[in-house]
Structure 1
Amino acid sequence: MSSNKEKAAKITLFALTWPIFVEILLHMLMGNVDTIMLSQYNDNAVASVGVSNQIMSVIIVMFGFVAAGTTILIAQNIGAKKKEKASQISVVSIAANLLFGILLSLSLLLFGKPVLLAMNIPEELIADSLIYLQIVGGTLFIQSVIMTLGAVVKSYGFTKDAMYVTLGMNILNVIGNYVLIFGAFGAPELGVTGVAISTAISRAIGLVILFICLYKRVNGYLPWNYLFEKFPKEEIQQLLKIGIPSAGEQLAYNLSQMVITAFIATMGTVELTTRVYAFNIIMFAMLFSIAIGQGTQILIGYLVGEKQINKAYERCLKSLWIGVAISTFFMITLSLFRETLLSLFTSNPEIIQIGSLLLLISIILEPGRAFNLIVINALRAAGDVRYPAYIGIICMWGVSVTVSYTAGIMFGLGLIGVWIAMILDEWIRGILMLRRWNSKKWVTMSFVNEEGKNS
């Protein structure tokens, strides 16, 4: 076990980052597979699954309470050579998110229909939406454990394991969809029910494989008995201390985006559609920043645990310039082919014209986003979790939402006004985060103290 952990602690940013990038890309594609395949079956089926997924996306953010804290605590303890404590945090995290997942899954089973009715879903969609919500939502505890296991495995430096499991889940999901949606190979034609069953089964198999990977990486040692020796109050407090601000910030972001989408909806169908297409293209540049941010978080967790403060400080700055350079390069590349890329989605000249302008403006947007995704993860890894959350929520609502309405609707700039708001939000937050990192106030916020006990 020790050799694996020492190997993890010495891993490079590139070795950590590229599997994370592929994993995130696969997760993004997996989220679109059900929609694409159902679109060949029935338009109402697509709408039904879309509504249910919107509800479950909020629940999945809540699972991030524990998963976000898991990565940082394990990385810091591995860096501090506290291998036993890292193992204890692993089992506490898995158990905590399992229980949390079961409670939320039961709530969807029991209250799924009232929630759908409260959302004013068209009557013809309720039956399929409810079936999907009950099958996939009722087994959502599997996803909660997958998220936690993925966080544990990546914290030990084995990011390829999570990538391979996600790839396998994608393949199983596509095969299951084909068989159960359309009734291939003599199977019943189940439509939405088939998609739900395929999703649940592929996740369950992924969970088993990820458990096997974890046991292999820790040489069969996970101290489950620690859960029964005493109530793990200290570990749970630390997980929530990190997780609640991080997940709260993500929840605030999702809500702010829903409000901005509502603003765009008032501009018209063309603007709403253009935003979706432009964002889908921009996501490919954004994924690099997300992956570099997550890889940097793990490395800085190791370095902070080792008390290598200067190396941690320099690691963030190196990752930042790498992330800014890569995201800018890819955004410029995408913008050079902007009309061709948009033509893959639509032939509407108005959408292509507005979307092309948005992709050009995004050359300024994406470097600012890289600042946030990388420096915020670095601050969290060092234990500074509240400042990024507070500043993030203030900027999302005080800048992004407010300026989107003012510039986009009041001044009549439309989507250009919304993009200006996003640029201001990302760059203001990015500059504030970099100032915070340069201040080194995070130096005293580690969750592992000098004496070898968790703070």
Structure 2
Amino acid sequence: MESSRKVDKKLSILALTWPIFIELMLQLLVNNIDQLMLSRVSDNAVAAVGNVNQIMNVLVITFSVITMATTILVSQYLGAKDYSKVSETYTVSIFTNLIFGLVAGIVLFVFGGNIFKLIKLPLDLLQDANAYMNIVGGGLFLQALFLTYSAIFRSNGLMKQTMYISVLVNILNIIGNAILINGYLGLPKMGVQGVAISSVLSRFIGVIIIGYMFAKEIDEKISFKYMIPFPKDTFKKLMSIGLPSGGESISYNASQIVILTIVNMLGTTVVTGRTYIGIIVMISYLYANAISQANQIIVGHLIGAREENEAFAAVIDTLKKSMLVTLIVSGSIFIFSDYILGIFTKNPEILKLGKQILFIDIFLELGRTVNMVTIRGMQASGDIKFPVIVGIISMWSVSALFAYIFAITLKMGLHGVWLAMTLDEILRGMIFYVRWKRGSWRSKAIV
């Protein structure tokens, strides 16, 4: 049966982008509101949570192996008007990421202490980091489920539903943080443990609601019957798309763990400053992230319909818009950095460091924007392996290696780290832009 939830390829990219943008912004708040509210309690608590979140990001990226593949595969199926495998794809995606999430939580619980030693976490951050990781790590499967449902909704053009749920999750998390940090309603003041509990509970409620919305809004259903016998072909397609596509993100976040280790060698003040800066720079590429995801859906539908020229033009147009917005936002953040950083800390050393780093970050964000738009365009068109290979080589030989050389050997500190990451983003951006212009991605459709 033809789904009533297919995306109109003529739908404007703005109509797809703004709900994704708001959802990403709210997810950013959910991920970082813990650190913002803890900044009123202790800078060390913020630094501890920042380290844990960096580790969590690597594991969350493993979920994107499936969610990204789901978005691309379903978009191409809808563009090609082939609806027979949709329910099966949904079912395999949900069950696979559920297992990934459970395994990831067990790994964090068992090996958390070893991970902290590996990244050279300062000893004065260890207690808070352990408390946060054990609780939030145990709820990682909830994040895996939510991200998978969100990918399904997006593939069907239903952006607003996940946006509304993200609003609710964010509000619940803030309320929970306020209660558990301050000890309202007769509860004890729980600090880091409190914000961890609040995050898990709010995500649990989010999963319940999005599961209900799926049953109500999506024509195709999830059923265990699609798993017996196990649908090997669908699983292979998801992994053949997801592993290379997710490989680039996994490599990036793994290299960021190495860079975090280098930053941890620079002292607690720099670690704390880097945590605050990391939260702020996410705002710089939020729009580029949203519009590149929206464009990926459009390109997937166009490729499925064999309209490659339209797909080419869509990526170029999106790139121009996103670079302009990124330049304005990152430039504004630099100009008003004292006020923005002042939300988190009054430490003059961190404020001075932050302003200098945020100037370098303007150039980093422009390169990152080119990467996000072109890579997602290539992924949607079926050109999966090339960005992974280039990404892995550049991230490790430029970003990670030169972060150590600049920061430690040449004693440039956090400035050297940011300079190395900037060189990596700009180099990859140039390579991917040239590849898109040359059209090497054409005729690589998956379905």
Q: TM-score range by the shorter chain?
A: 0.7 to 0.9
Residues 85-116 of structure 1 deviation map (CA, whole Å, 9 limit, x = unaligned) = 23321121112111222333344455556666
Partner in structure 2 of residue 307 of structure 1: 306
Partner in structure 2 of residue 453 of structure 1: none
Partner in structure 2 of residue 386 of structure 1: 385
Partner in structure 1 of residue 217 of structure 2: 217
- CA separation of 1:346 and 1:230: change in aligned 2, threshold 3 A: closer
Could you say what secondary structure the match of 1:447 adopts?
A: coil
Structure 1 segment 275-314 matched on structure 2, within 5 A: 275-314=274-313
2: CA distance, partners of 1:152 / 1:429: 29
Partner in structure 1 of residue 14 of structure 2: 14
Instruction: Compare 64-73 and 118-127 and name the one that shifted more.
Output: 118-127
Residues 417-444 of structure 1 deviation map (CA, whole Å, 9 limit, x = unaligned) = 4443333212211111112212323222
Residues 344-403 of structure 1 deviation map (CA, whole Å, 9 limit, x = unaligned) = 555565654554344334333322211101000111111111111110111111122333
Mapped contact 1:404–1:421 kept (Cα < 8 A): yes
2: CA distance, partners of 1:80 / 1:431: 32
Instruction: Compare 380-389 and 104-113 and name the one that shifted more.
Output: 104-113
Partner in structure 2 of residue 156 of structure 1: 156
2: CA distance, partners of 1:161 / 1:141: 21
Deviation at 1:5, TM superposition (A): 2.2
Could you say what secondary structure the match of 1:444 adopts?
A: coil
Partner in structure 2 of residue 245 of structure 1: 244
Could you say what secondary structure the match of 1:442 adopts?
A: coil
Deviation at 1:21, TM superposition (A): 1.4
2: CA distance, partners of 1:169 / 1:48: 23
2: CA distance, partners of 1:218 / 1:229: 22
2: CA distance, partners of 1:414 / 1:43: 20
Mapped contact 2:2–2:81 kept (Cα < 8 A): no
1:205 pairs with 2:212: no
Partner in structure 2 of residue 64 of structure 1: 64
Partner in structure 2 of residue 196 of structure 1: 196
Deviation at 1:303, TM superposition (A): 0.7
Mapped contact 1:105–1:141 kept (Cα < 8 A): yes
Residues 4-34 of structure 1 deviation map (CA, whole Å, 9 limit, x = unaligned) = 4244544321111112112112112112222
1: CA distance, partners of 2:201 / 2:395: 37
Instruction: Compare 282-291 and 191-200 and name the one that shifted more.
Output: 191-200
Q: Which amino acid aligns with 2:300?
A: G
Mapped contact 2:47–2:275 kept (Cα < 8 A): no
Mapped contact 1:368–1:423 kept (Cα < 8 A): yes
Partner in structure 1 of residue 327 of structure 2: 328
Mapped contact 1:4–1:217 kept (Cα < 8 A): no
1: CA distance, partners of 2:356 / 2:42: 34
Partner in structure 2 of residue 374 of structure 1: 373
Deviation at 1:289, TM superposition (A): 1.1
1: CA distance, partners of 2:268 / 2:199: 31
Mapped contact 1:139–1:200 kept (Cα < 8 A): yes
2: CA distance, partners of 1:120 / 1:364: 29
Mapped contact 2:302–2:310 kept (Cα < 8 A): yes
Aligned length: 447
Partner in structure 2 of residue 146 of structure 1: 146
1: CA distance, partners of 2:399 / 2:122: 31
Superposition TM-score, scaled by structure 1 size? 0.87
Identity fraction in percent = 39
- CA separation of 1:193 and 1:409: change in aligned 2, threshold 3 A: closer
- CA separation of 1:50 and 1:283: change in aligned 2, threshold 3 A: closer
2: CA distance, partners of 1:192 / 1:210: 27
Gaps of 5+ in 2: none
Deviation at 1:138, TM superposition (A): 2.4
Partner in structure 1 of residue 422 of structure 2: 423
Deviation at 1:248, TM superposition (A): 2.5
Deviation at 1:280, TM superposition (A): 3.6
Could you say what secondary structure the match of 1:210 adopts?
A: helix
Mapped contact 1:8–1:158 kept (Cα < 8 A): no
1: CA distance, partners of 2:126 / 2:203: 24
Q: Which amino acid aligns with 2:232?
A: K
Could you say what secondary structure the match of 1:5 adopts?
A: coil
- CA separation of 1:146 and 1:345: change in aligned 2, threshold 3 A: closer
The structure having more radius of gyration, on CA atoms, is 1
- CA separation of 1:273 and 1:42: change in aligned 2, threshold 3 A: closer
Residues 231-272 of structure 1 deviation map (CA, whole Å, 9 limit, x = unaligned) = 111111111112222332222222322333444455566655
- CA separation of 1:409 and 1:134: change in aligned 2, threshold 3 A: closer
- CA separation of 1:184 and 1:267: change in aligned 2, threshold 3 A: closer
Structure 1 segment 9-408 matched on structure 2, within 5 A: 9-40=9-40, 49-50=49-50, 52-109=52-109, 112=112, 132-187=132-187, 189-219=189-219, 221-222=220-221, 224=223, 226-266=225-265, 272=271, 274-345=273-344, 351-408=350-407
2: CA distance, partners of 1:269 / 1:445: 48
Q: Alignment RMSD, CA only?
A: 3.1
Deviation at 1:287, TM superposition (A): 0.9
